[in-house]
């Protein structure tokens, strides 16, 4: 059933012991939105936790509310009610999928057009730059004043998914959400400094290795990050975040793909980016079992890196 944010808020008010779920390889939007909602539920006196597969990534550990987060299902209480935020499809719940599906009450709050509305209650707005925009509306409907900590999390969320208010998904509402967060005390320089202007040496070395392997064919650019590169750079899995931007920013490139070998060596995750008119969610990711947004989508393919890459490139070449 599709519901309004007010209906979703009223529904949440009726429960205690709530688990808020983010997606696997959680990014700023998933982490910031989930933690902010958990802080709001706690402000109402509820037991609530943010379930993030693999936990809070290293580069977001500066955010407040870290004590709200559990990684892979080791919850101190059995959740009665589950809310998936920024999760485009059930498989994106990763290692927490069974935990979500075993909750007696389940809802979805998301901004991915490809979302199959997999909750009992669903509020999906594809026009939103970030789930964080809707998380603010949810917090308002819950009747909870926006605290400085919630504001910091939401600012990180919307800044992350809008490319720090640069991408085509950025709207007046995106800026209005940001303004509300800044008024409530979000530290713009502090948050964006951590997200955009600070990287570990290992992350920098991984970026170098990835860009050294750049390949180009007309409007198309791609590169791979292998397990060997992670080892050589001493990098974490989350250190691949935003490498794909360097590919789509190359003059003349209109579709970019970053292929990331998974730890098992037998599967690969793809980050896809495009410029108008190409829709990488609908035309590339979805047909191969993934999803996402028009200009930013992803897939995980259960094949070794090179084989998976050939599948993705073949699909991309059909649309360019």
Interface residue list for ligand 5GP (CB under 6 A): 23, 25, 27, 88-89, 92, 112, 271, 290-293, 296-300
Window 134 to 173, contacts with Mn ion (CB under 5 A): 161
Q: CB of residue 193 vs Mn ion: minimum separation in angstroms? A: 21
Cβ proximity to ligand 5GP, 25 vs 184, nearer residue = 25
Residue nearest to ligand 5GP (CB): 298
Q: Which does 88 bind (CB under 5 to 8 A by kind): ligand 5GP, Mn ion, none?
A: ligand 5GP
Which residue in the set 29, 113, 239, 294 belongs to the binding site for Mn ion (CB under 5 A)? 29
Residue nearest to Mn ion (CB): 29
Residue 167 burial (C-beta neighbours within 10 Å; 0-12, 13-18, 19+): middle
Residue 86 found at the interface with Mn ion (CB under 5 A): yes
Q: Which does 23 bind (CB under 5 to 8 A by kind): ligand 5GP, Mn ion, none?
A: ligand 5GP
**135 Cβ contact list (under 8 Å, min separation 6):** 32, 33, 36, 37, 85, 109, 154, 157
Cβ proximity to ligand 5GP, 106 vs 111, nearer residue = 111
Cα-based angle 136, 91, 223 (whole degrees, multiple of 5): 95
What are φ and ψ of residue 182, in 5° steps?
-65, -40
Q: CB of residue 88 vs ligand 5GP: minimum separation in angstroms? A: 4
Q: Which does 123 bind (CB under 5 to 8 A by kind): ligand 5GP, Mn ion, none?
A: none
């Amino acid at each position: 059933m599709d519901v309004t944010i007010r209906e979703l808020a009223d529904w949440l008010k009726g429960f205690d012991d709530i688990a808020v779920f983010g997606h696997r390889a959680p990014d700023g939007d998933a982490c910031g939105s989930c933690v902010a909602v958990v802080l709001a539920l706690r402000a109402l006196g509820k037991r609530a936790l943010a379930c993030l597969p693999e936990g809070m990534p290293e580069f977001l550990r500066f955010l407040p509310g870290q004590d709200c987060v559990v990684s892979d299902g080791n919850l101190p209480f059995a959740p009665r009610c589950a809310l998936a935020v920024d999760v485009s499809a059930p498989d994106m719940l990763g290692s927490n999928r069974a935990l979500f599906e075993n909750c007696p009450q389940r809802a979805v709050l998301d901004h991915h057009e490809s979302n199959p509305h997999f909750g009992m209650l669903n509020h999906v707005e594809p026009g939103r730059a970030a789930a964080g925009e809707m998380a603010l509306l949810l917090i308002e409907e819950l009747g909870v004043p926006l605290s400085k900590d919630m504001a910091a999390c939401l600012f990180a969320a919307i800044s992350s998914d809008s490319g720090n208010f640069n991408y085509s998904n950025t709207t007046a509402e995106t800026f209005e959400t940001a303004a509300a967060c800044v008024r409530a005390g979000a530290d713009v320089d502090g948050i964006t400094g951590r997200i955009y202007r600070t990287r570990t040496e290992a992350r920098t070395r991984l970026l170098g290795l990835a860009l050294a392997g750049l390949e180009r064919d007309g409007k198309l650019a791609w590169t791979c990050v292998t397990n060997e590169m992670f080892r050589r750079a001493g990098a974490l899995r989350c250190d691949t975040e935003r490498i794909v931007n360097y590919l789509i920013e190359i003059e003349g490139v209109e579709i970019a793909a970053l292929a990331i070998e998974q730890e098992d060596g037998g599967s690969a995750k793809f980050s896809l980016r495009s410029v108008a008119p190409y829709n990488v969610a609908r035309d590339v990711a979805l047909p191969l079992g993934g999803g996402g947004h028009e200009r930013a989508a992803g897939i995980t393919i259960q094949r070794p890196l090179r084989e998976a890459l050939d599948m993705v490139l073949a699909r991309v070449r059909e649309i360019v």
